[in-house]
């Protein structure tokens, strides 16, 4: 192992930082997709970028499952429909009416479905950094999901994260190892429409709050 | 609530995408800091950007604790030292020797300490999206941590994520509400040295692996 010398990092410009902020602001959870497929090779490229995310102990526990078989996609859609009906039943009155009006997934039209799991049985990283906080293994996979999200948007691709699912059932549907834990089920495709504000804000479910109210000093 | 019309998102250029990849590659978990403080106002700016992260149901469950009091910082350093000694005891032979040689936190010199919690008691978002996968609340906070990490590096600031801690003890040390769950304890500051490769790779703990081996098709 030859150590690489310390060398200066790139000097990111103010113009880049402004564009990066624009990317953060425009990321969006997309649920309305055009059906045309992603450009050839683009999904693999996005996965390659996602794998640049930080991971605890450099464990790289992300496992990417491209879901293409129609029967498996249909099972995931059914899974979502059942979980979403259960979720709706937990609300009442105006909140229930509003919930029922929301579009919470783009599973029918998104050309690409990607499930991302954390391999809790991985030997990579030799357990470093996760003896007291084992949840950091799954957190590492979340970093990969978020990296993929930003990279997708920078390529004009929208992404939506579907969490209204029975995760164990998704694992069974996709026939992956028992020690893989579902972190995110993602829809990707070119967006049918674009918005700068979150869908849930636009439809009056939950406004964005000033971050300063969440800072405390100790 | 006046709906904002759909409008075209910015068209990110190939040059921007190249710089974004450079940012992903140069992010780094930094453990060696210069002691000079961050530019005035920069931490608040980074927190503001972090709060642009996605969150389940738009719940914005991130809670940012600036840790400044010397006694609290000392307690966190002690917490780390004990947990790290326990972790070392779990290795044997060459692996133990290698572990002992690694620098796994920059708690002594980093000018800024920031603890980020998930508020599991929040009413924001009204529970949407997390009935079947409640862990998505903490995952939302991980997205904020990762956003902060990228924004920091774009501003020339290094960040390190310390997970070798007893999380309940950190919560007690910082006297935050019981329903706040520690997601990340972060060190921030200007890096003493810069590397393109991860510290754990450079020192032979765990190499980076080709992402393609982690893709499966279903």
pLDDT in tens, A144-173: 999 999 999 999 999 999 999 999 999 999
* Structure tokens given for A153: 């948007």
**Residues of chain A contacting residue B154, judged by C-beta atoms under 8 Å apart:** 12, 16-17, 20
Note the pLDDT of residue B2.
41
Interface contact flag, B19 A16, Cβ < 8 Å: yes
For A111-148, what is each residue's pLDDT tens digit?
A: 999 999 999 999 999 999 999 999 999 999 999 999 99
In a domain, A10, yes or no: no
Query: Is there a contact between A145 and A186 (Cβ–Cβ < 8 Å)?
Result: yes
Nearest to A45 by CA among A124, A117, A110, A112: A112
Distance CA A61, CA B145 (A): 18
B213 touches chain A (CB under 8 A): no
Note the pLDDT of residue A6.
60
Distance CA B186, CA B183 (A): 10
Interface contact flag, B218 A11, Cβ < 8 Å: no
Note the pLDDT of residue B5.
52
CA distances from A26 to A31, B103, B145, B151, B166 (A): 14, 37, 18, 15, 36
Note the pLDDT of residue A193.
86
* Structure tokens given for B113: 């300490």
Residues paired with residue A48 on neighbouring β-strands, in sequence order:
none
The radius of gyration of chain B from alpha carbons, rounded to an integer in Å, stands at 19
Note the pLDDT of residue A121.
97
Handedness of CA B139, B141, B142, B147 (dihedral sign): positive
Interface contact flag, B133 A90, Cβ < 8 Å: no
The phi, psi pair for A157, rounded to 5°, reads -100, 135
Note the pLDDT of residue B3.
44
In a domain, B15, yes or no: no
Residue A9: band (very low, low, confident or very high) from pLDDT cuts 50, 70, 90: confident
Q: Which range has the worst mean pLDDT, A25-29, B7-11, B97-101?
A: B7-11
Q: CB contacts < 8 Å between A and B, how many?
A: 313
Burial class (CB in 10 A: 0-12, 13-18, 19+), A73: middle
Other CB atoms within 10 Å distance of the CB of residue A5: 7
For B130-163, what is each residue's pLDDT tens digit?
A: 999 999 999 999 999 999 999 999 999 999 999 9
Cα–chain center distance at A39: 20
Q: Which of A135, A182, A190 to mutate to test the interface with B (most CBs of B within 10 A)?
A: A135
When pLDDT is averaged across residues A12-31 and rounded to a whole number, the result is 95
Interface contact flag, B128 A161, Cβ < 8 Å: no
In a domain, A166, yes or no: yes
- Mean pLDDT of all residues belonging to chain B: 95
In a domain, A108, yes or no: yes
Burial class (CB in 10 A: 0-12, 13-18, 19+), A13: exposed
Nearest to B172 by CA among B81, B110, B79, B83: B79
- Mean pLDDT of all residues belonging to chain A: 94
- How do A215-217 and B62-66 pair as beta strands? parallel
Residues 6+ apart with CB under 8 A from A108: A77
* Structure tokens given for A128: 């470093």
Higher pLDDT pick, B95 / A6: B95
In a domain, B166, yes or no: yes
In a domain, A133, yes or no: yes
pTM: 0.95
CATH number for A190: 3.40.109.10
A75 touches chain B (CB under 8 A): no
Q: Is A134 helix (H, G, I), strand (E, B) or coil?
A: coil
- Looking at the structure of chain A, the number of domains it has is 1
Note the pLDDT of residue A1.
40
Cα–chain center distance at A30: 11
Query: Is there a contact between B98 and B200 (Cβ–Cβ < 8 Å)?
Result: no
Min Cα–Cα distance to chain B from A95, Å: 9
Nearest to B65 by CA among B190, B167, B150: B167
* Structure tokens given for A121: 């049985």
Note the pLDDT of residue B7.
66
In a domain, B2, yes or no: no
When pLDDT is averaged across residues B13-21 and rounded to a whole number, the result is 96
What DSSP assignment string belongs to B87-108?
HHHT--HHHHHHHHH-----TT
For B166-215, what is each residue's pLDDT tens digit?
A: 999 999 999 999 999 999 999 999 999 888 888 899 999 999 999 999 99
Which ipTM value was assigned to this complex? Answer: 0.95
Checking if the pLDDT of B17 tops 60, the result is: yes
A42 touches chain B (CB under 8 A): no
Note the pLDDT of residue B194.
83
- How do A180-189 and A215-217 pair as beta strands? unpaired
In a domain, B200, yes or no: yes
Question: In chain B, positions 127-166, which contact chain A (CB-CB < 8 Å)?
Answer: 127-133, 135-136, 138-139, 142-143, 146-147, 149-151, 153-156, 161, 163-166
Give the range of the structural domain holding residue B101, as residue numbers without chain letter.
Answer: 28-205
């Amino acid at each position: 192992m030859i150590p690489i010398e310390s060398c200066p990092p790139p000097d990111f410009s103010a113009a880049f930082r402004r564009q990066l902020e624009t990317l953060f602001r425009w990321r969006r959870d997309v649920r309305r997709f055009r059906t045309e497929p992603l450009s050839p090779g683009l999904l693999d490229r996005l996965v390659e970028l996602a794998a640049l995310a930080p991971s605890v102990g450099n464990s790289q526990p992300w496992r990417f499952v491209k879901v293409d078989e129609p029967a498996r996609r249909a099972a995931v859609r059914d899974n979502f429909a059942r979980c979403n009906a259960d979720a709706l039943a937990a609300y009442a009155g105006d909140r229930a009416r509003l919930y029922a009006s929301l579009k919470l997934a783009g599973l029918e039209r998104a050309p690409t479905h990607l499930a991302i799991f954390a391999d809790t049985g991985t030997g990579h990283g030799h357990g470093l950094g996760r003896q007291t906080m084992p949840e950091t293994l799954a957190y590492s996979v979340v970093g990969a999901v978020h990296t993929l999200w930003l990279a997708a948007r920078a390529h004009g691709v929208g992404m939506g994260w579907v969490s209204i699912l029975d995760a164990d059932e998704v694992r069974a549907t996709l026939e992956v190892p028992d020690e893989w834990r579902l972190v995110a089920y993602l829809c990707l495709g070119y967006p049918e429409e674009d918005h700068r504000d979150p869908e849930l804000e636009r439809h009056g479910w939950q406004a964005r709050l000033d971050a300063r109210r969440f800072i405390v000093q100790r």
